Every structure is written in C-alpha cells, then in structure tokens.
A = this chain, B = another copy of it.
Amino acid sequence: MSDVSDWWQTAIIDMEPGRIHLRGHPIQNLIGNVSFPEMIWLMVRGDQPTPDQAKLFEAALVSAVDHGPQAPSIAAARMAVTCGLPLNNAMASAVNMLGDVHGGAGEQAIELFQHIETHPGNISGALDDWIALHGKIIPGFGHRFHRPTDPRAPRLMELVQEAVNAGACPGSYQKIAMAAEREISERKCRPIPMNIDGATAVIYAELGFAPPLARGLFCLSRSVGILAHAWEQIQEGGRNKGPTPPGYRWTYLEE
C-alpha cells in the first residue's frame, strides 16, 4: 500500500482499538483534567498554556459568542431551523457565513499588527502602506453599531494588561494596537476605539496564534451563540422564516 502511505498525515491524533492519544496524551488523562480552552489550545497548537495564558485565552473565547440576529451568521442559524434543518446543518450554515467580511476582521487585525511591527517607530507610514494595499477599512477599529465604544474591547484590554503584568505575554501587540488606535483617532479627529476584533486579535497575537487562527477561534466562539439561537428558534417554531418581513417588497420595478 505504498501509494497510500502519505495520504493523510497528522500529528494531532494517534489511535488504535481501545486507545486514543491526542497530541501524545492518552485521552482519559485529559478528560476531567484540562479545561475546554486548554484542550482547544492543545489540539490546535500541540503545546499547553500556562494558567495565566489559559485565562486570557478563555476570556477571548467568551467575549465573541454572540451579536444577535442582525449578524448574518445568527440569522442564518435561525432561518435554517425554520427550513427544517437539524442543529448540525443549521450550525454549519451559520459558520459558513463567517467569511472575510463577517468573520475575517480578527485575522486581518493580526496581519495589520504584524505589518506595523515591521515598521518600528513609524506607525503613520505603516498605516499609509496598509491603506494603500487594503483600502480604508481598518480591521479591528471602530464599530458601525457600537458607538462610540464596543463594550467588549475595554474589558478585554484590561485583561491583557493583567496578563502582561503577570508575565503571561510580552505586551508588544498591546502597545502596537494602542498606538494604532491613537493614530487612527487622530486622523479622524474623533475616537475610533478598538472593537472586539481588534481586542481579540491583540490577545491571539500576544499568545502566539497565527492570523488565520483568529478566524478559526472566532468560529468556535460564535458557534456558541449560533447553537443558542438555533435552539431557541426550534423551540419557538416557525416555518420558512425569511430574512425580510412579510409583506415587504424587494423588487426594483413597480409595474
């Protein structure tokens, strides 16, 4: 079977009948002994966080679980169950929506911070370069709904400060993000504070996660709200509830 020998290769799991090892640990030693966030960290990265790192990581996961049914992902979950889908398909429909625009801001914010990192002492030039390449929407700052301030961000940044004080992370991305916030606000002549994507990006970057994982971890976190809303809608009932109110007309042309 030499031609299949390299088909799937994984360092995550090794098993045989009666034995499951995850990242080298017998699963029965993990169950009941590691927290769910520690398990997420172990599975995705292979190593284990310190208690202070795990605490900061957990705060980020907790913070992003929901933003209500005006978020397309939550709406998709609720619509899906009214179309008769069970929870797994409803959750998939919703997570699928977390694309570049709806679920990508955290990933893009880490990329922004890493870009700024390569322009030491020149935040303004770094931002100009970024805008030239990616357009004027700066990921991680400002919020079209939560004005002036997304209530999740300051709380998360408080916890980042505690983690830096405890030596759980270096604080370099914290500084970059705060400098970016100042620079962007000055340019706009009004506060453009960090939003949840910016704050979780600081946390994930401080803890050493690669940018795409900010999106992946957001998907895990938002899946909680998705499940909660899908389940609530199942209990409420309803059939084929669409995304526009009954009686609302959506055509361009009146005849």
The answer to whether A9 touches B39 (Cβ under 8 A) is no
Whether a CB of chain B sits under 8 angstroms from the CB of A89 is yes
Q: List, in ascending order, chain B residues with CB within 8 A of A40's CB.
A: 224, 227
Whether a CB of chain B sits under 8 angstroms from the CB of A171 is no
Q: Give the contact-size bracket for chain A.
A: 35 or more
Q: List, in ascending order, chain B residues with CB within 8 A of A241's CB.
A: 7-8, 72
Distance (Å) between the CB of A164 and the closest chain B CB? 14
The answer to whether A101 touches B88 (Cβ under 8 A) is no
Interface residues of A in 204-244 (CB under 8 A from B): 212-213, 215-217, 219-220, 223-225, 227-232, 234, 236, 239-244
Whether a CB of chain B sits under 8 angstroms from the CB of A83 is yes
Whether a CB of chain B sits under 8 angstroms from the CB of A51 is no
The answer to whether B70 touches A242 (Cβ under 8 A) is yes
Q: List, in ascending order, chain B residues with CB within 8 A of A243's CB.
A: 8, 69-70, 72, 75-76, 78-79, 242-244
Proximity string of chain A (94-130) to chain B, C-beta cutoff 8 Å, 1 when within and 0 when not: 1111111111100000000000000000000000000
Given the known interface contacts A11-B253, A225-B43, the answer about A103 and B88 at a Cβ–Cβ threshold of 8 Å is yes
Give A28's nearest chain B residue, CB to CB: B155
Whether a CB of chain B sits under 8 angstroms from the CB of A131 is no
The answer to whether B255 touches A21 (Cβ under 8 A) is yes
Q: List, in ascending order, chain B residues with CB within 8 A of A27's CB.
A: 63, 151-152, 155
The answer to whether A242 touches B69 (Cβ under 8 A) is yes
Whether a CB of chain B sits under 8 angstroms from the CB of A93 is yes
Q: List, in ascending order, chain B residues with CB within 8 A of A95's CB.
A: 88, 91-92, 95, 223
Give A87's nearest chain B residue, CB to CB: B216
Give A216's nearest chain B residue, CB to CB: B87
25 contacts between A and B (CB under 8 A): A3-B245, A7-B241, A12-B232, A14-B255, A15-B251, A28-B151, A31-B156, A34-B62, A40-B227, A43-B65, A43-B227, A69-B244, A72-B242, A76-B79, A79-B97, A85-B89, A85-B99, A86-B99, A88-B215, A95-B95, A102-B240, A213-B227, A213-B231, A217-B227, A245-B245
